[in-house]
Amino acid sequence: MSNWNTICKLSDLNPGTGVCALHEGEQVAIFMGAQNDQLYAVSNFDPVGEANVMSRGLIGSSGEQVYVASPLYKERYNLETGACLDNEALSLKTYSVRAVDGEVQLQLSA
């Protein structure tokens, strides 16, 4: 039994943009970095706007940190840690993500 769930094909992702997928009953925003094709997965729920919209956010970087900016109120969240760069009280849940044989997979909960 695999502890990874296939979410979509790698070809479904475009660098610098996100897609939304349902994983274990939660909406997850999956992104491919614009510069390095790195995959990131965070909760699709915007804690400030209280809506599932993070997959529509814009990817950017600040120094070495790659972030997604909320499409509603523009808070920036580190795509690796989920920490908000603008308000340390906020964060997004992160997920382990990988690409295997052209498929994007998220790790299942223990």
At residue 31, the pLDDT reads: 96
What would you report as the CA-atom Rg of the chain, rounded to the nearest whole angstrom? Answer: 13
Portion of the chain with pLDDT greater than 90, in percent:
84
How many structural domains is the chain composed of?
1
* 71-77 long-range Cβ contacts below 8 angstroms, 24+ apart: 71/46, 72/46, 72/48, 73/46, 73/48, 73/49, 75/46, 75/48, 77/42
What's the CATH code of the domain at 62? Answer: 2.102.10.10
pLDDT digits (tens, 9 = 90+) for 19-53: 999 999 999 999 998 777 799 999 999 999 999 99
Domain residue limits at 40 = 4-107
Name residues whose C-beta falls within 8 Å of residue 12's C-beta, 6 or more positions apart in sequence. 19, 104
Q: Does residue 109 carry a pLDDT above 90?
A: no
At residue 110, the pLDDT reads: 66
